[in-house]
Structure 1
Amino acid sequence: MRIVTNQEMYQVDDYMMNTIGMSEESLMENAGQAAANALSERIKKHETIGLLIGTGNNGGDGFVIARALKSKGYEVDVWVVPAREKIKGAAKKAMIIYENAGFTWQSAGDNFSVKKYTVLIDCLLGIGVKGSIKSPYDNIIKKINDSKAYIYSIDVPSGVMEQKEELTVRADATITLQQPKVTAFTYPSKESYGELIVVDIGIPPLAIEKSSSLK
């Protein structure tokens, strides 16, 4: 299995959308459903689950995952960090579909607490994060790490691109999408991943092969 950099994964997505013709929304739906299937194989229905959503496509994946888990009968509290108007593009479409399916979410404000949860699902920050981890993400990441819950990160642990231990989710398991990322194998970022679970989201080998040759 090929290990990819962030840039290579963006090239794969670009090839899927602009050459193969798959929409960003379809890619997000596939990713979220695949991650939800992996989670449902590991999480019991009696668990108390909190799912945290940030901006960008990682947050969009979170809306798909939440919808899929709720549809399977899981009780999931969905906490959204950014203001609604800051959710854009495919992530906004995923949010609208989630809401149209009859599901609700809560704003993760100052009073947000992780104490009641036995499982936390981290969909805060993906590979696209740039710069330092700012408020309120820094405080939420600290709350996640201080919790007694079993922590799943989706694709990468939030904040891992900055590789600052105090501002990176320390996952018990990371469900990474399609291809493992370089940060899962390099230090200190590797220590934040926990168990690495790679799920197939339907990207054909051709897209990986063609994208690996693009520079």
Structure 2
Amino acid sequence: MTDPITSAEMRAIETAAIESGAVTGLELMDRAGKAVVKAIFETWPELLMQPRRVGILAGPGNNGGDGFVIANRFRDYGWDVEVFHYGSIDAMPQDAKTNAITFASTGGVVSPLIPFEGRDMRFADPPTDVWIDAVFGIGLTRPLPDVVAAAFNAIAYERNWQANKLVAVDILSGIDADTGERLTTFPLKPDLTVTFHAPKLGHTKGEGASMVGKLIVMDIGL
């Protein structure tokens, strides 16, 4: 496995690839989102047997943009998809905004993250088979916003009642990608973390090392 890198090193690698003209930011985001879905089906091939339901928590930045690519990809497989978005689509970076608009304008269901507060997840109908954390990824160095922490707590509670799976995109939101520090306390641990190009230091250090589940590093052509 490639040696772990910092979040700054990862951003520099992506920027260099884009500035060289080898790839666009939109293409990289598309590759990343599709790579997550590929990793999920390779890990749990039984999920390919019939369409199910996926819930995607998407954030305000490029990690959220990955989430909207993932949403579109699951729809290609016939899944019931709902995106819970934190922030404003209009305020997203351009590539992320493009993917969000594509999903929403083609009939995709986008709900604000706020409804998770006080929600009794025992009675979700239909139940969610896979939850995907695409809120912040490697970009967070501060505690989670309260509404995001509330959503994580609700999903953790639901997992006491339903045998669903949790997948983190790049790194579980709320874990510092460089130090592995847990920036907010919540009882949620992914079954699978899908990261790109190389592991991040936070996957191997501090509490981050125990908040990964199975780690898959996907090649996105960098």
Q: Is TM more than 0.5 here? A: yes
CA distance in 2, matches of 1:109, 1:179: 33
Gaps of 5+ in 1: 204-215
What is residue 177 of structure 1 aligned with on the other side? 196
What is residue 68 of structure 1 aligned with on the other side? 73
What's the CA shift string for 1:82-121, capped at 9, x where partnerless?
Answer: 1333323211011122234442322222356454323211
User: Structure 1 vs Structure 2: percent identity of aligned residues?
Assistant: 27
What is residue 219 of structure 2 aligned with on the other side? 200
What's the CA shift string for 1:32-67, capped at 9, x where partnerless?
Answer: 111122223323435432111111111000000010
What's the CA shift string for 1:127-167, capped at 9, x where partnerless?
Answer: 11132222211211222233313211111111111524614
CA distance in 2, matches of 1:141, 1:74: 22
CA distance in 1, matches of 2:185, 2:158: 14
What is residue 170 of structure 2 aligned with on the other side? 155
Using the TM superposition, give the Cα deviation of residue 182 of structure 1 relative to its aligned residue in structure 2, in angstroms: 0.9
Using the TM superposition, give the Cα deviation of residue 199 of structure 1 relative to its aligned residue in structure 2, in angstroms: 1.3
CA distance in 2, matches of 1:17, 1:178: 15
* Residue correspondences, number: 203
SS for the counterpart of 1:188 is helix
What is residue 141 of structure 1 aligned with on the other side? 152
Using the TM superposition, give the Cα deviation of residue 7 of structure 1 relative to its aligned residue in structure 2, in angstroms: 0.9
- Report the residue type matching 2:211 in the other structure: S
What is residue 48 of structure 1 aligned with on the other side? 53
Gaps of 5+ in 2: none
Q: Are the structure 2 counterparts of residues 124 and 142 from structure 1 closer, same or farther at C-alpha, using a change threshold of 3 Å? A: same
TM-score by length of 2: 0.83
CA distance in 1, matches of 2:157, 2:104: 30
CA distance in 2, matches of 1:111, 1:186: 30
TM-score by length of 1: 0.85
* Equivalent of residue 125 in structure 1, options 129, 136, 149: 136
CA distance in 2, matches of 1:167, 1:16: 36
Contact 1:168 1:192 in 2 (8 A): no
* Equivalent of residue 110 in structure 2, options 93, 105, 130: 105
Q: Are the structure 2 counterparts of residues 155 and 67 from structure 1 closer, same or farther at C-alpha, using a change threshold of 3 Å? A: same
CA RMSD of aligned residues (A): 2.0
Contact 1:29 1:61 in 2 (8 A): yes
Mapped pair 1:189 → 2:208: yes
